[in-house]
Chains A and B, each alone.
With several copies, the nearest count.
Chain A
Amino acid sequence: MVDTSINLSGLHLSNPIIPASGTFGFGYEFAEIYDINILGSFSFKGTTKEPRFGNAAPRIAETHAGMLNAIGLQNPGIDKVISEELPKLKQVFSKPVIANISGFSLEEYAYCCEKIDKEEQVGIIEVNISCPNVHEGGMSFGTSPESAAAVTKAVKAVTSKPVYMKLSPNVTDIAEIAAACEEAGADGISLINTLTGMRIDLKRKKPILNNVTGGLSGPAVLPIALRMVWEVYKKVSIPIIGMGGVSTAEDVIEMMLAGATAVSVGAANLKDPFASKNIIESLPDAMKELGIKKLTDIIGGAHNA
């Protein structure tokens, strides 16, 4: 018997698989087709202070070995998430969930985190700092160590739950930003969010996405995600939730060898609704094949070689 369990800031997860925010909704669609309690945990759809409809359609474009999305953080707002979504979720998911929080100002981040802090169902708060900062010319909070640290501090001040800062890969030096978050008190780092990309409709001769650009994810980005997890692992000592293009149990192992303690699966859930289930079920065999007895043994393993 191999041991797939991991420990994430005190949470014991039976396996490291965490469906990524925005690709698993609030879990119901998947709960209809399999028992989602097999998951390590999952990160719910990015939630903001106010309800948001998001961007106009089209919001999706296909790419080679990946996809672009420009959902624009559609969500019912933190209050409704707490009053409606979490109670419904409780009926299908009995484990601690990861709350993914977004905002356009420090106040919004703090507001949401303070509210979610009181929810027993929430095990970890994952703070997405890829959103544009409306008070500072629209650059994303995640593009400078200073603003990333500022969000971390604002959030840490209002919650006692573990806080994972979710970093944008659209930066020159992601390890520097991770270090700033650690220094500011983050309990862990999630990476990577999507890479900004675009496609053009050749017939209409204009961008496919109504929003012009969108976020690239899927297998295409796996090598970039691995490199960034590698760099962040070298720089910080807090745990990493690694993601970006993970689609198989082998990808999970590769991500953990690069330095991830847990692994999120995003676009793969959209391509195949059973992807996370399949990964979890094939993980023990993949481990045996590679002579891995205990998954936690390999975290960052490729750094020692």
Chain B
Amino acid sequence: MKKSFFTVAGNRLLAENTYEMVLRGDSSAVKKPGQFVHIALDGFYLRRPISVCDWSEHSITMIYKTVGKGTAYMAGLEEGDRLEVLTGLGNGFDSKKSGNKPLLIGGGAGIPPLYALAKKLMQEQKQVFAILGFNRVDEVFYAEEFASLGVNVIITTVDGSVGRKGFVTDAMEIDMADYTYTYSCGPEPMLKAVYEKAVSDGQYSFEERMGCGFGACMGCACQTKYGSKRICREGPVLEKEEIVW
């Protein structure tokens, strides 16, 4: 974990209520896809946890949905604004477990961390499939970005306005077969549906309301088959086999 200041280098609307923010600063604490940062916002007591979508030596990219006052405040930030951020939080995904043909399944605001994971897996020469689920065409983002990495991308929308009509799990059934591993991030009902449908082992990334974000308060603890785990520290990524719903 590192606490440092970042400068907003970009903050653009990607899709309905969905923004991509690029932060310039010291990203040295970020080690793995699936980790998150914890952002202090003026006038809000608690920080906001946001997944690292991508990073380079001096920048971090995040994608966030405006769901409340904090994310709305973030949407109003402009290039040059400064943010105090904790970086390098969470365990992240383990790309080593993927096998040859990993399947990434993301829903809405759960998609961003899968992007850095996909990048890593492609670097590791895997044949990567990604099912990205949205409600409507207006919400779709990063389909091309995944595709340009060389990922086989399947889009699903609940209303069928683009891609396959239905849920991500419908695409799992119909479009996929011999995937070796599952990586998933999205709303809890989606994670559960994926968990139930998945024929492979996998890693699932969870969200929880956080106090500290670095393991001090027990605010984010959840039960697993191997005892209590803190989503901010032993998570947000849990192994399929340990999950208790």
Contacts and interface: CB of A to CB of B under 8 A. Distances in A.
Contacts of A273: 1, 3, 86, 212, 214, 216
Given A53-B228, A270-B212, A274-B3, A62 B217 contact: no
B44 A30 contact: no
Interface stretch (B9-17, B164-172, B203-211): B203-211
Contact of B221 (A54, A67, A267): A54
Given A57-B222, A59-B209, A273-B1, A25 B47 contact: no
Dominant secondary structure at the B interface: loop
Given A64-B45, A67-B45, A274-B3, A58 B209 contact: yes
A208 B219 CA distance: 13
A71 B217 contact: yes
B46 interface: yes
Interface in A1-54: 22-25, 29-30, 32-33, 45, 53-54
Interface residues of B, number: 25
Contact of A270 (B216, B222, B228): B216
Interface in A261-276: 267, 269-274
Nearest to A270: B212
B161 interface: no
A25 B215 CA distance: 8
A60 interface: yes
Contacts of B40: 271-272
Interface residues of A, number: 35
B209 A270 contact: no
Contacts of A105: none
Interface string A194-238: 000000000000001000000000110000000000000000000
Nearest to A57: B208
Interface centre among A23, A62, A63, A74 (most CB of B within 10 A): A62
A272 B3 contact: yes
Pairs of residues from A and B, 10 with the lowest C-beta to C-beta distance, nearest first: A270-B212, A60-B219, A58-B209, A60-B209, A29-B215, A62-B46, A270-B211, A74-B218, A60-B211, A29-B216
7 contacts: A23-B217, A25-B215, A57-B221, A57-B222, A69-B219, A267-B211, A271-B212
Interface of B: 1, 3, 40, 44-47, 86, 208-212, 214-223, 228, 233
Interface of A: 22-25, 29-30, 32-33, 45, 53-54, 57-67, 69, 71, 74, 208, 218-219, 267, 269-274
